[in-house]
Amino acid sequence: MLKNKTIVLGITGGIAAYKAVDLASKLTQAGARVEVVMTEAATNFVTPLTLRNITHRQVVTDMFESNSEWSEEHIALAEAAAAVIIAPATANTIARLATGIADNMLGTVVLATKSPVIIAPAMNDVMYANTVTQKNIAKLKSRGFTFIEPEHGRLASGKMGKGRLPDTATIIKAIEKALGQKQDLTGKRIVVTAGGTREPIDPVRHIGNRSSGKMGYALAEAARDRGAKVTLVSANVTLEEPSGIEIIKVKTAAEMKRSVSGAVKKADALIMAAAVADYQPEAMAKAKIKKGKQDMTLKLVKTPDILGEVKGKFLRVGFAAESENIISNAKKKLTEKKLDLIVANDITKSDSGFDADTNRVVIIDKKGKAEKLPLLSKREAAERILDMVKGLIN
Give the whole-angstrom CA distance, residue 287 versus residue 203: 6
Beta bridge partners of 6: 33
Any contact of residue 388 with ligand CTP (CB under 6 A)?
no
Nearer to ligand CTP, 75 or 392 (CB): 392
Nearer to ligand CTP, 178 or 233 (CB): 233
Residues 229-268 that bind ligand CTP (CB under 6 A): 253
Of 218, 224, 219, 216, the residue nearest 195 (C-alpha): 216
Count of residues near ligand CTP by CB under 6 A: 14
Q: Shortest approach of ligand CTP to residue 276 CB, angstroms?
A: 4
Any contact of residue 321 with ligand CTP (CB under 6 A)?
yes
Does residue 209 have an active-site annotation?
Answer: yes
| Binding mask of the shown chain, residues 275 to 314, with x at each position contacting ligand CTP by CB under 6 A | -x-x------------------------x-xxx-------
Report the C-alpha dihedral over residues 371, 375, 379, 381, rounded to 10 degrees. 10
Q: Shortest approach of ligand CTP to residue 303 CB, angstroms?
A: 5
Q: Shortest approach of ligand CTP to residue 339 CB, angstroms?
A: 8
Contact 178, 116 (CB under 8 A): yes
| Interface segment toward ligand CTP; rule CB under 6 A; list 127-135, 167-175, 274-282, 289-297 | 274-282
Among 19, 226, 333, 378, binds ligand CTP (CB under 6 A): 333
Is the previous residue joined to 48 through a cis bond, with omega within 30 degrees of 0? no
Among 10, 13, 14, 318, binds ligand CTP (CB under 6 A): 318
Any contact of residue 217 with ligand CTP (CB under 6 A)?
no
Among 119, 228, 320, 334, binds ligand CTP (CB under 6 A): 320
Active-site residue identified among 209, 236, 345, 359: 209
Give the whole-angstrom CA distance, residue 43 versus residue 25: 17
Nearer to ligand CTP, 150 or 318 (CB): 318
Note the residue count of the chain.
394
Q: Shortest approach of ligand CTP to residue 71 CB, angstroms?
A: 48
Q: Shortest approach of ligand CTP to residue 98 CB, angstroms?
A: 32
Beta bridge partners of 341: 317, 365
Nearer to ligand CTP, 113 or 303 (CB): 303
Among 83, 319, 326, 352, binds ligand CTP (CB under 6 A): 319
Nearer to ligand CTP, 255 or 305 (CB): 305
Contact 199, 303 (CB under 8 A): yes
| Interface segment toward ligand CTP; rule CB under 6 A; list 9-17, 23-31, 46-54, 269-277 | 269-277
Q: Shortest approach of ligand CTP to residue 242 CB, angstroms?
A: 20
Nearer to ligand CTP, 128 or 319 (CB): 319
Residues recognised as catalytic: 209
Residues in touch with ligand CTP (CB under 6 A): 253, 272, 274, 276, 278, 303, 305-307, 318-321, 333
